[in-house]
């Protein structure tokens, strides 16, 4: 799960997807394409909305996406088109490129392409992001379980 800062959207996506899949079979992690928040806990607003839904994000620490993530992971989900392009720019070959998906493409709803960056928005922005990610992670989890 990849966003820009790895403090708002992708920590939520990581926590939500983890809550829907067995821990012993799936390794799920998140990262940011930017380096601004390396080592930080998720944003308090992400921690709070997740906690309300029974998901604990407090053990997460922000890290920057690295090229070796293409080797570590089978699927790389970008939260928005800008994150998508940043990741693609690091790809070494067509195999790397093929692993990268825009997360909301998993919803069959062409009216929404990007998970909106909630960093400069209020609590409602985080609620909206939570709902979007919960919906799409249900689709992803079902696909991964049946694969
Ligand atoms: P995220 O949100 O990419 O969902 O973690 C952001 C967090 C921090 C910044 C931008 C987006 N920032 O500019 O510091």
8 given a catalytic annotation: no
**Which pLDDT band holds residue 105 (cuts at 50, 70, 90)?**
very high
3 given a catalytic annotation: yes
CATH node for 2-146: 3.40.50.2300
Q: Which two tokens stand for residue 37?
A: 């928040």
Res 110 pLDDT > 90: no
Radius of gyration of the chain (CA): 14
Q: What is the structure's pLDDT at 6?
A: 98
Task: Output the CA 5–ligand 1 centroid distance in Å.
Answer: 4
Reduced to 3 states (helix: H, G, I; strand: E, B; else coil), residue 118 is coil
Reduced to 3 states (helix: H, G, I; strand: E, B; else coil), residue 27 is coil
Q: Which has the closest alpha carbon to 87: 73, 69, 105, 108?
A: 69
Domain ranges across the chain: 2-146
Task: Output the CA 120–ligand 1 centroid distance in Å.
Answer: 9
Q: What is the structure's pLDDT at 109?
A: 84
Task: Give the pLDDT confidence of 27-68 residue by residue, as tens digits.
Answer: 999 999 999 999 999 999 999 999 999 999 999 999 999 999
- Which is the catalytic residue, given 9, 43, 80, 137? 9
**Distances 87 to 71, 92, 101, 112 between C-alpha atoms, Å:** 13, 10, 10, 20
* Average confidence score pLDDT of the chain: 97
117 given a catalytic annotation: yes
- Which is the catalytic residue, given 43, 69, 80, 117? 117
Write down the residue that tokens 């939520």 correspond to.
12
């Amino acid at each position: 799960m990849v966003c820009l800062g790895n403090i708002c959207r992708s920590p939520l996506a990581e926590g939500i997807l983890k809550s829907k899949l067995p821990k012993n079979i799936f390794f799920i992690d998140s990262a940011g394409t930017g380096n601004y928040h390396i080592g930080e806990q998720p944003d308090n607003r992400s921690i709070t909305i997740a906690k309300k839904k029974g998901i604990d994000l407090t053990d997460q620490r922000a890290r920057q996406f690295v090229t070796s993530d293409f080797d570590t992971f089978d699927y790389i989900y970008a939260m928005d088109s800008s994150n998508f392009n940043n990741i693609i720019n690091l790809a070494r070959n067509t195999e790397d490129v093929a692993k990268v998906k825009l997360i909301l493409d998993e919803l069959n709803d062409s009216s929404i392409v990007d998970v909106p960056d909630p960093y400069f928005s209020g609590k409602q922005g985080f609620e909206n992001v939570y709902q979007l990610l919960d919906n799409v992670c249900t689709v992803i989890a079902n696909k991964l379980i049946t694969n």
